Amino acid sequence: MSKSLFRNIIAKLILNIFNICVPLIVSPYILRVIGIENIGKINYAESIYTYFFAFASMGIYQYGVREVSKLKQNKDKLESFFTSCFIISLIGSISILIIYFSFIISSSNVSSFKFILFIYGINIFSNVFYVEWANEGFENYNFITIKTITLRIIYIIGIFLFVKKSSDFLNYIIINSLFMFFNNLFSFIVIKKKIKFNFKKIRIKKHIKYLLAGFIISNWGIFFYQVDKTSLGLYIGDLEVSIYSVSNIITFMLITLIQTLVTVSIPRLTNHVYEDKGKYINLLNKIYKVYLMITFPVSIGVFILSKEILFLYGGKEYLNASTTLRIFCIFMIISNIEIFIRNQILYVNNKEKFISILLICFSISNIIFDFIILPKLYFNSNIAILKTTILILLLLICEVFYIKKIMKFKFFIVNKSILIYFISSVSFIIVNWIIKIIVINTFIQFVLTIIICFIYYLIILIIFKDEFLKKLINKAKQ
Residue count (the chain): 478
Q: Does 103 have pLDDT greater than 80? A: yes
Mean pLDDT of 216-221: 76
Q: Does 228 have pLDDT greater than 80? A: yes
Among residues 118, 469, 69, 27, the alpha carbon closest in space to that of 274 is found at 69
Q: Which residues does 301 contact at the CB level (< 8 Å), separation at least 6?
A: 425, 428, 449, 450, 453
Low-confidence winner among 70-84, 156-170, 200-214, 404-418 (lowest mean pLDDT): 200-214
Helices (H), ranges, 305-341: 306-314, 322-340
- Tell me if 73 is assigned to some domain: yes
* Rounded to 5°, angle at Cα 135 from 131 and 137: 110
Q: Is 150 helix (H, G, I), strand (E, B) or coil?
A: helix
Q: How far is CA 172 from CA 104, 177, 320, in A?
A: 20, 9, 25
- Tell me if 387 is assigned to some domain: no
- Tell me if 163 is assigned to some domain: yes
- Tell me if 80 is assigned to some domain: yes
Q: Is 61 exposed, middle or buried (0-12, 13-18, 19+ CB in 10 A)?
A: buried
Q: Does 274 have pLDDT greater than 60? A: no
Give the per-residue pLDDT at 32.
Answer: 81
Mean pLDDT of 193-219: 81
Q: Which residues does 108 contact at the CB level (< 8 Å), separation at least 6?
A: none
Q: Is 478 exposed, middle or buried (0-12, 13-18, 19+ CB in 10 A)?
A: exposed
pLDDT, tens digit, 9 for 90 and up, residues 419-451: 999 999 999 999 999 999 998 888 899 999 999
- Tell me if 295 is assigned to some domain: no
The residue among 426 and 318 whose pLDDT is bigger is: 426
- Tell me if 266 is assigned to some domain: no
How many structural domains are present in the chain? 1
Mean pLDDT of 268-279: 64
Give the per-residue pLDDT at 179.
Answer: 93
3 pLDDT band, cuts 50/70/90, is very low
- Tell me if 184 is assigned to some domain: yes
Q: At what angle do helices 381-401 and 322-340 cross, to 10 degrees?
A: 20
Q: Does 2 have pLDDT greater than 60? A: no
Residue 52 belongs to domain spanning: 1-218
DSSP code of 58?
T
- Tell me if 445 is assigned to some domain: no
HSE-up (13 A, CA, CB side) for residue 169: 20
Rounded to a whole number of angstroms, the distance between the first and last alpha carbons of the chain is 16
154 pLDDT band, cuts 50/70/90, is very high
Torsion sign, CA atoms 179, 152, 296, 303: negative
